[in-house]
Structure 1
Amino acid sequence: MALSIPYYLSESQLVVALQRGEARAQKIVYERYANRMMAICLRYVANQADAEDVLIESFMRVFERVNQFRSEGSFEGWIRRIMVTESLMFLRKNKSLRQEISLESVTEEPDYQWADEALQANDLLRLVAQLPDGYRTIFNLYAIEGYSHAEIASLTGISEGTSKSQLSRARALLQQRIKTLETDVKSAPEYGKAAS
Structure 2
Amino acid sequence: MDKKTKEQKLIKGCRAGKAKYQQMLYELYYGKMFSVCLRYSRSREEAKDILHEGYMKVFAGIGQYKGDGSLEGWVRRIMVNTAINHYHKNKKLKDTFSIEEEYDEVAESDQLSEENVIQQMAYEDLLQIIRTLPPAYQTVFSLYAIEGYNHREIAEMLQISEGTSKSNLAKARKKLQKQVQVLLSQ
Normalising to structure 2: TM-score of the pair? 0.82
- For residue 52 of structure 2, the aligned residue among 53, 56, 66 is 56
Q: Which has the higher contact order (CA 8 A, sep 6+)?
A: 2
TM superposition shift of 1:100: 4.8
- The answer to whether the Cα contact below 8 Å between 2:38 and 2:127 also exists between their aligned partners in 1 is no
Q: Is the 8 A contact 1:97 1:137 kept in 2?
A: no
Matches within 5 A, 1:168-179: 168-179=170-181
**What CA deviation, in whole Å up to 9, does each residue of 1:56-103 have, x standing for no partner?**
1111100000011111111011111111111111111012544259x9
| Alpha-carbon contact 2:91-2:135 (below 8 Å) kept | no
Partner of 1:78: 74
Does residue 180 of structure 1 match 2:182? yes
Tell me the amino acid that sits aligned with residue 153 of structure 2.
E
Q: Match for residue 149 of structure 1?
A: 151
Q: Which residue of 1 aligns with 2:43?
A: 47
Superposition map of 1:97-136 within 5 A: 97-100=93-96, 109-110=111-112, 115=117, 118-136=120-138
Change in CA separation of 1:123 and 1:153 when aligned onto 2, cut-off 3 Å: same
Question: Offset at 1:29?
Answer: 0.8
- Is the 1:109–1:179 Cα contact (8 Å) retained in structure 2? no
> Any gaps of 5 or more consecutive residues in structure 2?
none
**Superposition CA RMSD, Å:** 2.7
Deviation of residue 182 (structure 1)? 3.5
Q: Is the Cα contact below 8 Å between 2:50 and 2:86 reproduced in 1?
A: yes
1:172 CA displacement: 1.1
Q: Tell me how far apart the structure 2 counterparts of residues 31 and 24 of structure 1 sit (CA, whole Å).
A: 11
Distance across 2 between alignment mates of 1:120 and 1:149 = 27
**Which SS does the other structure have where 2:95 is aligned?**
coil
Asked if structure 2 preserves the Cα contact closer than 8 Å seen for 1:43 and 1:129, the reply is: yes
Give the whole-Å Cα distance in 2 for the aligned partners of 1:124 and 1:19.
Answer: 37
CA contact (8 A) 1:41 1:54 kept: yes
Distance in 1 (alpha carbons) for counterparts of 2:149 and 2:35: 18
2:166 matched to which residue of 1? 164
Could you tell me which residue of structure 1 aligns to residue 18 of structure 2?
22
TM-score calculated relative to the size of structure 1: 0.78
Query: How big is each residue's C-alpha offset from its partner over 1:101-146, in whole Å with a ceiling of 9 and x where there is no partner?
Result: 9x9x877944879746643444333322222211111111011101
Distance 2:114 2:29 in 1: 35
Partner residue, 1:194: none
Matched positions, count:
175
Instruction: Note if contact 2:131-2:138 (Cα within 8 Å) is conserved in structure 1.
Output: yes
Q: Which structure has the larger Rg? A: 1
Rounded Cα–Cα distance in structure 2 between residues aligned with 1:112 and 1:70: 37
Q: Return the alpha-carbon distance in structure 1 between the equivalents of residues 156 and 114 of structure 2.
A: 33
Which runs of no fewer than 5 residues in structure 1 stay unpaired?
1-7, 186-196
Give aligned-pair identity as a percent.
Answer: 39
